[in-house]
Amino acid sequence: MSFQTPMKAPGTEEGASPGIMSCYLDSLSLVERLHRLLLDVIKDEFERLGILEINPVQALLLFNIGENEVTAGELKTRGYYQGSNVSYNLKKLVECGYMHHQRCEIDRRSVRVKLTAKGVDLRERVTALFERHAKGMDARNVITLDAMDEMNRTLRRMERYGSDQIRYIY
């Protein structure tokens, strides 16, 4: 998807300055493309390893859960995943033996999940892939640690601004 720059914001006399608008839309596009690229990289790695029963989104779910025991609701509130997708992907991961699930003792409607040994093994493979990439970027001087730190701080500020807009805080 490519974001197009509108001439002016609807209902206003003037839109955002052209410079900030252009850079903002470029940032959104880059983040989206990086996420899609990440999924493709994981898919290619899994094909090389002969792992065909789960998809890259499910692999990232395992990676993000890590050693924790969580509910689908907790994953949604952390902002990682959409509702129906979480339930479907968790169900698939349980069926394939990557996750264990158990009804919560306090709230019987809620199911807690955690990685099985098979899930931990897959998570370690994803971790190794990310470590290879980090090492490769460092070795080729793709980006400095300071530049990556600044980029992450900027992305967090943009994320906070977006979250504030959803919560109607101006």
- Token pair of 13, please? 């006399």
Domains in the chain: how many in total? 1
Mean pLDDT, rounded, for 20-47: 96
Tell me which H or E stretch contains 65.
Answer: helix 56-65
Q: 117 lies in a domain?
A: yes
Q: Which of 10-14, 34-38, 120-124 has the lowest mean pLDDT?
A: 10-14
Q: 6 lies in a domain?
A: no
Residue 70, pLDDT > 80, answer yes
> In 3D, which of 137, 147, 58, 44 has the Cα closest to residue 97?
58
| 52 phi and psi angles, rounded to 5 deg | -120, -5
For the whole model, what pTM was predicted?
A: 0.81
**Percentage of the chain lying above the pLDDT 70 cut:** 85
Q: Which domain holds residue 62?
A: 54-139
DSSP state of 113: E
Instruction: Give the domain CATH number at 110.
Output: 1.10.10.10
Residue 115 forms beta bridges with which residues? 99
Q: pLDDT-derived band of residue 83, with 50, 70 and 90 as boundaries?
A: low
